[in-house]
Amino acid sequence: MKKMFDYTLLLMVACLLVACQSNQRTNTATTAKDSTVLITTGLGLEPDLAAADSISILFYKHPFTDDKEQYTRFYTSYQTTTDTVLTLLKENMAQPFTEDSLRDCRSEGKMFVYSKGKVAQTIYFTTQSAACTHLYFINTGRYYYFPFQAVLQQRLIALKTLAK
C-alpha cells in the first residue's frame, strides 16, 4: 500500500510540474500580445479617415451671431470626391491631437467624411479667434482637437464660395 501511495504522490507532483510549466508558457505568450500602442494622431484614432473617399462640408451662414441655439440651422454645402481638400484633411489628421473637454468656441461648419459610403467621422472647424482656431471630432464621448493647418483653412475658404 505504501508503494501505491508513493506512486500516486509521484504522479501528482509530476502533473503539478507539467501544469506550472504550461502556465508559464501561456503567460509569456499573452504578455507579448498585450503590449500597448499609444495613439497620438487622428488617423490612429480613426483609421477610416485614412481611407476617406468623399466629403460633404457644411458652412454655417452666420456662425458668430447672438443666436446660440439656431446658428447651425442655416448653411451652404459642398460635396466632392476629387477635391484636394480630402488630401489636406488627411494630412491635418496625421498631426497630434489634444484631448480636452468641449471648448467655448463656435464651429463655423462641419465636414462629414465618408469611407466606402459610410460616415467615417464628423469633423468640426473654426477660426473664431486665436484661441479658437482648430479642428475637432468626438470619439467615445471625448473631444479631440487638432491644430488647423493654414493650407486647409485656405482651401475651405475657397470652397465656401462654391458651396450652395
pLDDT at 116: 92
93 or 19, higher pLDDT:
93
8 or 139, higher pLDDT:
139
Is pLDDT of 11 > 50?
A: yes
Q: What is the reported pTM?
A: 0.75
Which residues partner with 53 through β-bridges?
none
Which residues partner with 144 through β-bridges?
99, 137
Mean pLDDT of 137-154: 95
CA 116 to the chain's CA centroid: 17
User: Taking a C-beta distance cutoff of 8 angstroms, is the pair 75, 60 a contact?
Assistant: yes
Mean pLDDT of 5-9: 57
Is pLDDT of 26 > 60?
A: no
pLDDT at 153: 97
